Structure 1
Amino acid sequence: MTDTALLDRHPDRRQTAPSPGGGLLRGLLRTARPKQWVKNVLVIAAPAAAGELFSWPALTRLALVFALFTACAAAVYLVNDARDAEADRAHPTKCRRPVAAGQVPVPVAYAVGTALGVLAPVAAARLCPPQVAVVLTAYLGMQLAYCVSLKHVLVVDLVVVTTGFLMRAVVGGLALGIPLSRWFLITTGFGALFMVAAKRYSEAVQMAGKEGATRALLTEYTTGYLRFVWQLAAGVAVLGYCLWALEEGGVPHASVLPWRQLSVVAFVLAVLRYAVFADRGTAGEPEEVVLRDRALALIGLVWATMYALAVADW
């Protein structure tokens, strides 16, 4: 179905169609998913864990990496929406995406996505350590492969999305030359898998019996399997965090309180609270779950404070 045909079937959309220029720019911005940019805050995870976050050179470098990763993610969203435009038009909510609705022409989405996907790694190669450019290039290649075919492969689709989160967490450490501990990688990786599987489970529950599901694998995964995955991932993430917090020699003598061990309580509570939404089938976008639930946001703030005190040896 063409964009014109879509407008013919929906006269109200023709009347409210945005004007060229400003409407196109707004559409491109919406397609870049500004709400998703909060995920890229993960680039500060490794520097924060190492206690090397609060210095002007570190903050400047991390701000640059954040912007470059955001550009790469936006490139993937643009290409993905251009490829899925036809399928999105049959979806009850995705039909409102700018590309599917005709606000952003498909060729424009491809062109802007390609430009961002080329410029971001090139800028990283010139302005950051070479490992950053390698990670960004690998992220783009993996995500584009996901858009083309990997999202149709059972289990692999979960791994690819999870790896995208892990890359965000790793790239900040690489940008500042910070060694990454095994506990950091285990906790971050399985924590990401927990949220990804919970999101898939929620999508499967909400789309059950409905027409127009654009994620074909939702019909192949069972809700029981997805529940098993997010429960397993949550358990491994908690175990990894506990091993980090309780490892021998992990408590500095100068600390007023054992913040490192106490942070386990807040971390486990956060996982349990998030699991409430996963179990209900309402754990959609992770950032939306955190922002709309005050209790979860408060628990996260308490955990972050304890974690910062532990890292600072206070």
Structure 2
Amino acid sequence: MGSVNIARERPAKRTRAGVRRQVMDLFLLARPAHWAKSVLVVPIALVDLAVWSWPALARVAWSIAAFILAAAVIYLVNDLVDQRLDRLHPGKRRRPIAAGRLSVTAVTLYGAVLIGGLILLLTYAPHGSSWPVLGYLGLNVAYSAGLKRLPLIDMGVVSSGFALRVVQGYLATGAALPGWLLIAVFSGSLLLILGKRRYELVEVGVEHRPSLRGYSVEFLNQLLLLAGVVCLAATSAYLATEAPIAPHRQEALLISLPFVLYALSRYLQVVLVLKGGGDPVRLLLRDRALIASFGIWLCAIGALVLVTRIPSISPILLP
């Protein structure tokens, strides 16, 4: 009798394990590790403490949620469209759809839930502040439909997604959008994408991404240098002219320049010397050198912000 019960329990356990696995696979389709793109980029507008208010914070939270959901829908569409090509990539072939772990019915239902949630969220969008999300969706639909096969255009489209996140953040707070900051974010995103394309070209080959046939390692090396220079120049211009820390912009530039140079150099070292860069999000969140330099820079800039907002402590921090 005991053996019969054990025999019944085993299929039940396998069923529960299978359900848990499917739920986890559906969750992974939304790329939770990539939510950092919206969590870090959209709230850039909050650097200006003058725009802080409960309504502004609520609109920023809405913007983050909208971009996370929009990106999840795009990831699901791309995984469906690219599943054959993903099987040729050593990392992407483990994705749930490419690996064949999810049924078409499960993916379709999950996609319907994501789209429904996004439509509901857009229905309650703050007045006039949802066009960057809609632009992001339209741009990425065009990307999946064919732009991803066009060299240079493919990287420009992906970088534009980050720029639209910044625009969304500034619309949410009602602050004026700094042009130099937008250029810095676009060129910095392009730098990360160039590193990823170079890694794929060297380590994986062109079979899984047709646009790679329009690149060479030497060409990408030149583009990495160009994007790095533009990013450095735009960041410097933003700090010197538009950063909300007047009258200490000159000090902000002098403090930040070594850290920006180090971050760019460290990234190029990872890509060109250590042969990394295949997963930019993982690199930015786990590279100890980059995290440490960012933390030190943040503390220094935070001190300048305090000086700007609380003039009485200026003689202490800036003797």
TM-score (norm 2): 0.82
Alignment partner, residue 142 of structure 1? 139
Q: Does the 8 Å CA contact 1:121/1:136 hold for their aligned counterparts?
A: no
Alignment partner, residue 236 of structure 1? 230
Gaps of 5+ in 1: 1-15
What is the rounded CA distance, in whole Å, between the counterparts of 1:175 and 1:248 in structure 2?
19
Give how far 1:162 is off. 0.4
Aligned length: 293
Superimposed CA distance per residue, residues 183-234 of structure 1 (whole angstroms, 9 cap, x where no aligned partner): 11111111111111111112112124xxx83112223311111111121011
Gaps of 5+ in 2: 1-13, 310-319
1:289 aligns with 2:283: yes
Alignment partner, residue 105 of structure 1? 103
Matches for 1:212-231 after TM superposition, within 5 Å: 213-231=207-225
Matches for 1:139-218 after TM superposition, within 5 Å: 139-208=136-205, 213-218=207-212
What is the rounded CA distance, in whole Å, between the counterparts of 2:258 and 2:208 in structure 1?
39
The code of the aligned residue for 1:139 comes to: Y
Runs of 4+ in 1 over 6 A off after TM superposition: 248-251
What is the rounded CA distance, in whole Å, between the counterparts of 1:90 and 1:46 in structure 2?
40
Give how far 1:32 is off. 0.9
Matches for 1:1-314 after TM superposition, within 5 Å: 19-41=17-39, 42-48=41-47, 50-52=48-50, 55-117=53-115, 119-132=117-130, 134-208=131-205, 213-247=207-241, 252-253=246-247, 258-280=251-273, 281-312=275-306, 313=308
Q: Does the 8 Å CA contact 2:85/2:209 hold for their aligned counterparts?
A: no
What is the rounded CA distance, in whole Å, between the counterparts of 2:93 and 2:211 in structure 1?
19
Give how far 1:102 is off. 2.1
The code of the aligned residue for 2:256 comes to: S
What is the rounded CA distance, in whole Å, between the counterparts of 2:18 and 2:286 in structure 1?
34
Superimposed CA distance per residue, residues 276-306 of structure 1 (whole angstroms, 9 cap, x where no aligned partner): 1121331122221123321111111122333
The code of the aligned residue for 1:71 comes to: L
3-state DSSP of counterpart to 1:100: coil
Identity score, percent: 31
Structure 1 range deviating more: 151-160 or 270-279: 270-279
What is the rounded CA distance, in whole Å, between the counterparts of 2:282 and 2:162 in structure 1?
16
C-alpha change, 1:158 and 1:237, in structure 2 (3 Å) is same
C-alpha change, 1:161 and 1:22, in structure 2 (3 Å) is same
The code of the aligned residue for 2:183 comes to: I
What is the rounded CA distance, in whole Å, between the counterparts of 1:227 and 1:249 in structure 2?
31
Alignment partner, residue 9 of structure 1? none
- The alignment yields a C-alpha RMSD, in angstroms, of 2.7
What is the rounded CA distance, in whole Å, between the counterparts of 1:250 and 1:35 in structure 2?
30
Give how far 1:72 is off. 0.6
